[in-house]
């Protein structure tokens, strides 16, 4: 990860009975097997809150729960608790919250953690709590140990006891670097067993070594022994997917290895934008997670020192980056796939009144692949928290996006296609309004050359006197891959690019031409690459308005 700021469930009785049966013969096995199954069933029935059974994460009532959410850097931005409500309003069912045990950063106090949990519950989010100080241990000199993290969790026991329905404990973030990653296994087992000995019944999450990406396969090879060391069977593995996972084959192979072994796993962090290390295949990650019913938690809401990974710009839910729009509103994204945990009851018994129906949406800025919708706000006796935007086709509808405001820009549409869009309003209790009337929209015809099947998102991510940092996200909106490209645009105010990653610039006056780096040269269908740069500027820094890819004009996004 890029830091901000800088199995089947094993039942001990079943295992014992199986061992006795192998010694005493098949006849005895036939007698004992029903008793073992009965014990397994009883164990599940008595589960405390979120728990693992048969390789799946279940709620206390046995409902299968698939995490769909994001990471939030609480420990560095403790005043941004509104972010939890904003993340929920965009459709997430889970948030992974960054905490510190005091080894490397300021310790999050029991009162602070209790408030985070309360805020998660108030916003109907499952809360994954993680200690970040362990990041890169064995390679990062400032990193803390899993044992120290375990002691921190034990110090929070009074806060966390009774929250098993709502809280997952992620012992330590990426708790081993790339140096001797085989050292990860024993401390991981020891930390898990230390928490169990202290009486914790929560689902425990463990991160992989190799800075979370397990590219040397240590967690994959030792997962069964780690899982077996937790006698409760209430353990889930977390793989972090960044540039190591840049092909669909690598992603499906890794995740299927755990699923085939009956071992629970989720993608606890992942990125999509290309950087100097490579271009993660976020589309394959999200599609595979959806196919296998596995959770995913994108990195991260806002506040990264490298803002390329900010889902929202400046913690503003109305200013999603291209990465944020991909995660929340794209294919297999949060808006389409997240389902709220049933522990929240599908509605607050104290609030059963649904919002009024939103106004009929109007369409503007319609291109071949995108359209902006706006509508009149709904009202509610408590308060409207968000809107769901759907495509209506006959008697069926498909959720396309979620918004916390009364407008949204839909991307990834098909050129020269008729659509009908409508809107629902919802409140914090989960009550949803009647569907608005629909608006009919026909997208424009697509470009005649492969380069025309594109959209470009440009933004200045940071500015200072005389200089700025920028980001350009190039998305292939066509059905075939683009291999090799040249992006052209013009600065209006004398800006000059002084350094670039993800591409090579050539500039003459205000005219800029960019060719790709090796890791950004191919843009798969429906995929994207990101180019970042540092530039110089005067007092005015107007963004370019027109971009061409291989000579054809791209849509703006």
Reported as a pLDDT band with limits 50, 70 and 90, residue 556 is confident
Q: Averaged over 325-341, what is the pLDDT?
A: 91
* Average pLDDT in the chain: 86
pLDDT tens column, 9-51: 223 333 333 333 333 332 222 322 333 333 333 334 345 799 9
- Stronger pLDDT, 104 or 329, i.e. the higher one: 104
Q: Averaged over 469-487, what is the pLDDT?
A: 87
Provide the 3-class DSSP secondary structure of residue 251.
helix
Reported as a pLDDT band with limits 50, 70 and 90, residue 427 is confident
Reported as a pLDDT band with limits 50, 70 and 90, residue 350 is low
- From 174, 201, 282, 340, the catalytic residue: 174
CA–CA separation, 549 and 488 (whole Å):
7
CA–CA separation, 387 and 90 (whole Å):
8
What is the β-pairing status of strands 68-72 and 56-58?
unpaired
Q: What is the pLDDT of residue 38?
A: 31
Q: For the chain, what is the total number of helices (H) and then of strands (E)? A: 12, 31
pLDDT tens column, 172-202: 999 999 999 999 999 999 999 999 999 999 9
Q: What is the pLDDT of residue 305?
A: 83
The reply to whether 463 belongs to the active site is: no
Q: What is the pLDDT of residue 397?
A: 81
Of the listed ranges 100-114, 155-169, 475-489, the least confidently predicted one is 475-489
Of the listed ranges 110-114, 144-148, 258-262, 394-398, the least confidently predicted one is 394-398
| First-to-final CA distance of the chain | 26
Query: Which residues 6+ apart lie within 8 Å of 221 measured at CB?
Result: none
Provide the 3-class DSSP secondary structure of residue 240.
strand
What DSSP line would sit under 340-408, residue for residue? --GGGTTS-TT--PPPPPPPPPEEES--SS-EEEE-PPP--SS-EEEEEEEEEETTEEEEEEEESSSEE
At residue 523's C-alpha, the angle toward residues 522 and 526, to 5°, is 155
Q: What is the pLDDT of residue 552?
A: 87
SS3 content of the chain, % helix, strand, coil (to 5): 25, 30, 45
Q: Please give the C-alpha separations between residue 396 and each of 176, 363, 382, 421, 436, in angstroms, as whole numbers.
A: 48, 21, 30, 12, 15
Give the highest mean pLDDT range of 15-29, 117-131, 339-353: 117-131
Nearest to 114 by CA among 74, 85, 86, 172: 74
| DSSP code for 519 | G
Give the highest mean pLDDT range of 445-454, 512-521, 530-539: 530-539
CA–CA separation, 557 and 540 (whole Å):
22
What is the β-pairing status of strands 68-72 and 296-298?
parallel
- Stronger pLDDT, 86 or 427, i.e. the higher one: 86
- From 107, 201, 269, 340, the catalytic residue: 269
Whether 76 shows a pLDDT value over 90: the answer reads yes
Is the pTM of the predicted complex or chain greater than 0.95? Answer: no
Q: What is the pLDDT of residue 446?
A: 61
The reply to whether 174 belongs to the active site is: yes
CA–CA separation, 143 and 139 (whole Å):
8
Residues of the chain with pLDDT > 70: what percent? 89
- Stronger pLDDT, 152 or 528, i.e. the higher one: 152
CA–CA separation, 194 and 185 (whole Å):
14
């Amino acid at each position: 990860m890029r830091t901000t700021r800088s199995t089947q469930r094993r039942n001990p009785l079943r295992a014992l009975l199986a061992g006795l049966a192998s010694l005493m013969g098949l006849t005895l096995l036939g007698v004992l097997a029903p008793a073992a199954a009965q014990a397994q069933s009883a164990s599940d029935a008595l589960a405390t809150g979120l728990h693992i059974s048969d390789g799946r994460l279940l709620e206390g009532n046995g409902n299968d729960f698939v995490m769909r959410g994001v990471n939030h850097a609480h420990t560095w931005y403790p005043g941004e608790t509104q972010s939890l409500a904003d993340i929920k309003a965009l459709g997430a069912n889970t948030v992974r919250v960054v905490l510190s045990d005091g080894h490397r950063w300021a310790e999050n106090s029991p009162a602070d953690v209790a408030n985070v949990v309360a805020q998660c519950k108030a916003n109907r989010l499952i809360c994954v709590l993680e200690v970040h100080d362990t990041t890169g241990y064995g390679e990062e000199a400032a990193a803390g140990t899993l044992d120290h993290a375990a002691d921190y969790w034990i110090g929070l026991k009074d806060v966390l006891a009774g929250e098993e329905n709502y809280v997952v404990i992620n012992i330590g973030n990426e708790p081993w670097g790339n140096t001797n990653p085989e050292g990860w296994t024993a401390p991981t087992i020891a930390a898990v067993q230390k928490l169990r000995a202290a009486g914790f019944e929560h689902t425990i999450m463990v991160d992989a070594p190799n800075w979370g990406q397990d590219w040397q396969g240590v967690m994959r090879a030792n997962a069964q022994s780690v899982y077996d060391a937790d006698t409760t069977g209430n353990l889930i593995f977390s793989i972090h997917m960044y540039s190591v996972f840049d092909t669909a084959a690598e992603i499906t192979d890794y995740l299927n290895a755990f699923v085939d072994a009956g071992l629970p796993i989720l993608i606890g962090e992942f990125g999509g934008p290309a950087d100097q290390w490579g271009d993660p295949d976020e589309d394959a990650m999200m599609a595979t997670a959806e196919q296998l019913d596995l959770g995913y938690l994108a990195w991260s809401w806002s506040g990264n020192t490298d803002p390329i990974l900010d889902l929202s710009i400046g913690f503003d839910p109305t200013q999603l980056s291209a990465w944020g729009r991909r995660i929340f509103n794209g294919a297999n994204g949060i808006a389409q796939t997240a389902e709220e945990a049933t522990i929240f009851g599908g509605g607050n018994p104290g609030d059963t009144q649904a919002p009024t129906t939103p106004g009929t949406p109007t369409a503007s800025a319609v291109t071949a692949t995108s359209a902006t919708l706006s509508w009149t706000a709904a009202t509610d006796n408590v308060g409207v928290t968000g809107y769901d935007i759907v495509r209506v086709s006959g008697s069926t509808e498909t959720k396309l996006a979620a918004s916390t405001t009364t407008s949204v820009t839909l991307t990834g549409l098909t050129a020269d296609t008729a659509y009908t869009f409508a809107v629902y309003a919802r409140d914090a209790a989960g009550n949803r309004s009647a569907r608005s009337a629909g608006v009919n929209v026909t997208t424009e015809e697509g470009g005649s050359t492969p380069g025309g099947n594109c959209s470009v998102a440009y933004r200045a991510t940071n500015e200072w006197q005389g200089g700025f940092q920028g980001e350009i996200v190039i998305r292939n909106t066509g059905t075939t891959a683009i291999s090799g490209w040249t992006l052209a645009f013009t600065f209006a105010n004398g800006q000059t690019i002084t350094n670039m990653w993800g591409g090579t610039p050539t500039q003459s006056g205000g005219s800029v031409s960019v060719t790709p780096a090796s890791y950004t040269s191919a843009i798969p269908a429906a995929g994207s690459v990101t180019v970042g740069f540092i530039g110089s500027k005067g007092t005015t820094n107007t963004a370019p308005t027109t971009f061409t890819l291989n000579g054809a004009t791209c849509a703006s996004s």
